[in-house]
Each structure stands twice: as structure tokens, then as C-alpha cells.
């Protein structure tokens, strides 16, 4: 395998090779020790009682691709010798009600493969040491809160697809953690980050994220030891919780509509149409007016890994040379935005806004700059890591 720290590979992910996915290697690396642990799998369905009973979802792989992969690669992998090799027990599979939003709190009711109704708080969280949540909607925030309450470890892997299995979940997470720490040290203590976005019409928008010299954090994929914790996989990210934000940045909505978002006092307060459906912009502005907390910026993140595009944000935001912002709750990141601060429960999401060539081809990251005391560094230019980050990784 070529050295993925070589500068040419850092700039061209197509040169990197990955070993075949191995469930036992992944779990042993992430969760050491695994011996004596009782493990289970969680997933989500709109109608979990009917869809989970008798593993009915296996009959509709096109409708439930994530859940089918969870069964094939994790449930079967555990029962076909994985648990024995890792010294684990359990291997049960449960389904809860899909939340319909990223990182919304979970309903307590869940179901086993016989269709029996159970309680997450009573029957699942206290009775398993390792919980693997492989779902459509991210559950990292609620499970981070629950693991601290009940004492389990776990991992969330929402949106898992074949590319992720063959790359982001096939890597050596000890190495991922080491790389994330190198970049964390390169960024920690930053006072502010400025991002210039170049639009197709020639405009350049600038966003300034105020960080006040805070300690950078990392999502590095390791959940070793016995302390309660949740790993978000694929991992490989350095992130901050902004203390302030101002300026403008572009937004590509789910329907393809393009807008400019105006920010002050850490919050988006207005969206203006660039191209697409005006109704999409109107709906966003109405949501901001009705519940201003939905516009609060709760995260600034930078990818640290050399990975192929998976077309699933959970992996693509971990790619070196990309960055992302997120709105909404950030309590799982050590921030101060909690679900009770939102007008409606369904608004208390944590929604990533990823800037990457395949995701936002209408916008270029012209430059990302860091200010740390008297130090000034270019972090990213045109979706490529700056020399400062390359030097940090190859040191």
C-alpha cells in the first residue's frame, strides 16, 4: 500500500488503496478492549414494529439499503464468528422510530426481531456495553447524552453505503486518530477562521468564525477503554464550536436552489436567492423568523482523511481539503445549544453544511485562513489542503 502521508497522495485520493473491510478489525481497533462486552445493533424505520419483525426489511433492499448492509456486514458478521473472535456476546438487533431529522432525540419505544415492543432506556441502554447504531438519520447527539447516563460505549454510522464500507470503515483508526491529532495541534488555540467563497457570478463571500483561542477537538474514531463515549464513523475531523460568526456564505439546498446566507452574532438571519426556486428561500426565511435558533452556527469542522467521495456527508465531510459548518444543537460537541432552546422539538437538529467539489460545484473555497495570535496560516485553497496542513501531517 502506498504511503498515504506522501504529499502527492494527500492531493490525489485516487492514489490511495484500502484493505478489504473487516468487521473484527474495525471493532477491535475502535473499541479495545472488546472481551467480555455485550454488543447490539440499532437501526431506524418509520414503522419499526412491522419492518423489524422477522427481519422483514431484508425483503426490500432497495427501500432499506442501510439496514440491509447493517444486517449483512454487522449482524451476520457478529454471528458468523465475529463475537467469538472478539470475546463478545449478545449480537441482538433492534429498531427504533426514525426521527426524520439529523440528531433529534429518539423516542423510547423500540422493537426486537420478533416484533416485541421494548424500551431503549429500560431494555437496551443499561444492558449492553457496546451499541452500534447504523441508521438513516444520525443519532450521534442523543446517543452521546445517553451513553453518559447509562455508561455504554458505541458508534454511529448513519447513511452507510458500499463506498464507505470499502474505504472509510476499512482504514486503520489508530492511524486516523494520529493524523487527526496532528491537525488538531496545528489548529488548536485559533482565534478566528476566515473562509472566502467564490461564486460563479464573480462574487466572493467571506465568513468569519470567532473561536477565542479555544482548544480544538477531534472526531478520530477511537472509543477505547471503558469510559462512556460514542464514536461517529467514518471519523477523521478537527472541529470547533464557534463563539461568534459574521459575514456571508453560500448554500445549496436539497432541491438544488442556491442562496446566500447572511450571518451576524453567530446566527444566520436571512437567505437571498441566487438561482432556483424562490419558494425554497422563502421557506428557510420563514423558519428562521419562527425559530431563530435554527440559524445558530454550532460547529466548524475540517476533514483530516484521504478518502474517495461516497456521496454521503458522513464520510465526505471527513475528506482533507473540505470544511463544513453546522446549524442547530451542539451539546454533543461540548457546546451550549441544547434541544430545549428550540421552539419546536423537530427543529432541534444538528445539520451539517458541507463544502466539497462534488457537493457544491457552484462554489469554490477560494481560501481558508487561520489567525492564532500573531500567526497567520492558509489552511485550504480551492479544496486542497494548504502547505501548512500538509507539513503538519507529514512531519
For residues 135 and 204, state if they share a domain: no
The answer as to whether 265 is a domain residue is: yes
For residues 273 and 179, state if they share a domain: yes
Spell out where the chain has E strands. Answer: 38-45, 89-97, 109-111, 117-119, 130-133, 153-156, 192-199, 204-210, 217-219, 229-232, 237-240, 244-252, 258-264, 267-275, 297-303, 323-328, 350-355, 363-372, 375-381, 384-385
pLDDT digits (tens, 9 = 90+) for 315-331: 999 999 999 999 989 88
For residues 243 and 274, state if they share a domain: yes
Residue 261 has which C-alpha cell? 446566507
The answer as to whether 81 is a domain residue is: yes
Look at the chain and report how many structural domains it folds into: 2
For residues 197 and 61, state if they share a domain: no
For residues 271 and 134, state if they share a domain: no
The answer as to whether 12 is a domain residue is: no
The answer as to whether 116 is a domain residue is: yes
End of a domain among 151, 166, 181? Answer: 166
pTM equals 0.94
For residues 151 and 179, state if they share a domain: no
pLDDT (mean) for 347-353: 89
* pLDDT given at position 4: 67
Nearest to 121 by CA among 156, 96, 91, 87: 96
For residues 152 and 186, state if they share a domain: no
Q: Is the pLDDT of residue 1 over 50?
A: no
Worst-scoring range by mean pLDDT, 12-16, 52-56, 293-297?
Answer: 12-16
The answer as to whether 368 is a domain residue is: yes
For residues 64 and 102, state if they share a domain: yes
End of a domain among 146, 166, 186? Answer: 166
pLDDT digits (tens, 9 = 90+) for 108-152: 999 999 999 999 999 999 999 999 999 999 999 999 999 999 999
The answer as to whether 231 is a domain residue is: yes
Q: What is the extent of the structural domain holding 105?
A: 19-166
Residue 213 has which C-alpha cell? 483561542
369 phi-psi bin (left φ>0, alpha ψ -120 to 50, beta other): beta
For residues 162 and 177, state if they share a domain: no
* pLDDT given at position 3: 60
Cβ neighbours for 289, distance < 8 A, ≥ 6 positions apart = none
Q: How far, in Å, are 55, 123, 188, 349 from residue 92 at the CA level?
A: 12, 12, 40, 28
User: Over the Cα atoms of the chain, what is R_g?
Assistant: 21
pLDDT digits (tens, 9 = 90+) for 243-262: 999 999 999 999 999 999 99
The answer as to whether 10 is a domain residue is: no
Nearest to 22 by CA among 162, 169, 236, 232: 169
For residues 285 and 345, state if they share a domain: yes
Cβ neighbours for 36, distance < 8 A, ≥ 6 positions apart = 87, 88, 129
pLDDT digits (tens, 9 = 90+) for 182-229: 999 999 999 999 999 999 999 999 999 999 999 999 999 999 999 999
For residues 215 and 127, state if they share a domain: no
In which band, very low, low, confident or very high, does the pLDDT at 9 lie, cut at 50, 70 and 90? confident
End of a domain among 166, 189, 209? Answer: 166
Q: Is the pLDDT of residue 2 over 60?
A: no
Domain of 83, CATH number, reads: 3.40.50
Task: Confirm if 353 and 251 have CB atoms less than 8 A apart.
Answer: yes
% the chain with pLDDT above 90: 90
3-state class of 22 per DSSP? coil
pLDDT digits (tens, 9 = 90+) for 162-184: 999 999 999 999 999 999 999 99
For residues 306 and 347, state if they share a domain: yes
The answer as to whether 379 is a domain residue is: yes
Amino acid at each position: 500500500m502506498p504511503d498515504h502521508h506522501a504529499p502527492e497522495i494527500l492531493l490525489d485520493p485516487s492514489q490511495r488503496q484500502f484493505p478489504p473491510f473487516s468487521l473484527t478489525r474495525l471493532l477491535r481497533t475502535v473499541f479495545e478492549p472488546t472481551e467480555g462486552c455485550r454488543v447490539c445493533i440499532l437501526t431506524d424505520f418509520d414503522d419499526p414494529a412491522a419492518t423489524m419483525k422477522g427481519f422483514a426489511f431484508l425483503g426490500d433492499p432497495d427501500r432499506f439499503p442501510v439496514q440491509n448492509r447493517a444486517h449483512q456486514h454487522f449482524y451476520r458478521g457478529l454471528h458468523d464468528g465475529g463475537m467469538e473472535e472478539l470475546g463478545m456476546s449478545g449480537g441482538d438487533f433492534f429498531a427504533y422510530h426514525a426521527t426524520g431529522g439529523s440528531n433529534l432525540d429518539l423516542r423510547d419505544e423500540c422493537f426486537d426481531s420478533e416484533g416485541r415492543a421494548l424500551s431503549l432506556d429500560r431494555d437496551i441502554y443499561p444492558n449492553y456495553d457496546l451499541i452500534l447504531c447504523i441508521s438513516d438519520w444520525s443519532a450521534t447527539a442523543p446517543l452521546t447524552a445517553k451513553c453518559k447516563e447509562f455508561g455504554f460505549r458505541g458508534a454511529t454510522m448513519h447513511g452507510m453505503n458500499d463506498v464507505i464500507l470499502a474505504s472509510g470503515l476499512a482504514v486503520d483508526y489508530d492511524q486516523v486518530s494520529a493524523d487527526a491529532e496532528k491537525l488538531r495541534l496545528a489548529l488548536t488555540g485559533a482565534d478566528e477562521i476566515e473562509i472566502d467563497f467564490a461564486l460563479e457570478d464573480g462574487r466572493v463571500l467571506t465568513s468569519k468564525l470567532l473561536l477565542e483561542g479555544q482548544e480544538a477537538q477531534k472526531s478520530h474514531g477511537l472509543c477505547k477503554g471503558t469510559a462512556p463515549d460514542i464514536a461517529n464513523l467514518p471519523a477523521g475531523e478537527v472541529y470547533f464550536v464557534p463563539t461568534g460568526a459574521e459575514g456571508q456564505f453560500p448554500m445549496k439546498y436539497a432541491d438544488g436552489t442556491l442562496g446566500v446566507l447572511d450571518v451576524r452574532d453567530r446566527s444566520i438571519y436571512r437567505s437571498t436567492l441566487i438561482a432556483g426556486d424562490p419558494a425554497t428561500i422563502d421557506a428557510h426565511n420563514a423558519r428562521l423568523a419562527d425559530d431563530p435558533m435554527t440559524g445558530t452556527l454550532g460547529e466548524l469542522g475540517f476533514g483530516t482523511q484521504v478518502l474517495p467521495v461516497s456521496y454521503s456527508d458522513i464520510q465526505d465531510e471527513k475528506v482533507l481539503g473540505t470544511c463544513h459548518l453546522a446549524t442547530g444543537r451542539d451539546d454533543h460537541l461540548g457546546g451550549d445549544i441544547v434541544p430545549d432552546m428550540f421552539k419546536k422539538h423537530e427543529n432541534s437538529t444538528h445539520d451539517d453544511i458541507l463544502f466539497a467539489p462534488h457537493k457544491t460545484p457552484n462554489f469554490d473555497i477560494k481560501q481558508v485562513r487561520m489567525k492564532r495570535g500573531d500567526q497567520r496560516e492558509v489552511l485550504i485553497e480551492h479544496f486542497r489542503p494548504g502547505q501548512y496542513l500538509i507539513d503538519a501531517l507529514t512531519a
